[in-house]
Amino acid sequence: MSSSKDLHDNRRNYTKHELTEKKISPNPYEQFGWWLEDATNDGILEPNAMTLSTATKDGKPSSRIVLLKAFSQEGFIFYTNYHSRKGKEISENNSAALLFFWDKLERQVRLEGTIEKVEAHLSEKYFASRPFESKLSAIVSEQSEEIPSREFLEDKLEALKESGETNRPENWGGYILKTNYFEFWQGRASRLHDRIVYELENGAWKIKRLAP
């Protein structure tokens, strides 16, 4: 039996919104904030979920979903294990990209930039705010490393519970993507989509429209 599936006719027409130069903010962070607020108010499940794409020093890419925990004019912050695959890739190639997709609004946002670790006190503050069980999981998980079984992980978790250890591991903390490129994409009818780009040039944001 063939496992192939024809998806050529799996399509939808986008008609909910438009994105015009007259309505956008001159500041891409403000524009992102408006769209994130729309996604939150529209009831999208985890509107702060984003695809993080990194690459090795040789350019081999990998992507995964992480959660945005804060953003400002400085950049976009998320937290993870520094020894994970993404952490190792960031250490040797700090160029990265983020992608938000909000299907109910027919929108996506692409961001590009460079990543660096946040200051330790920010990681400490966020780790202290996490639920107890989430703290334990971060401590026991040697993220991306091979383990012998699920039971091995659960046994480590039970032992940690008994010890009462909840301090942030040194290999766990935040990263910030310092953005130099934004692309706001709004789905439009007949695939004639809106694409507005903000590109940082000499300290100022240059705005332009791309063909869909």
Q: Comparing C-alpha atoms, which of 85, 19, 12 is closest to residue 52?
A: 85
- How far apart are alpha carbons 50 and 63 in whole angstroms? 10
Catalytic residue among 150, 168, 191, 209: 191
60, 63, 67: which is closest to 52 by C-alpha? 63
Q: Hey, is 113 helix, strand or coil? A: strand
134 Cα distance to chain centroid: 19
Is residue 150 part of the annotated active site? The answer reads no
Provide the token pair at 166. 């909840």
Cβ atoms of 210 and 183 closer than 8 Å: yes
Answer for the pair 137, 156: CB distance below 8 angstroms, yes or no: no
Q: How many angstroms separate the CA atoms of 26 and 195, rounded?
A: 15
Q: Count the Cβ atoms, other than its own, within 10 Å of residue 29.
A: 17
CA nearest to 61, candidates 82, 26, 90: 90
> Which residues are catalytically annotated?
191
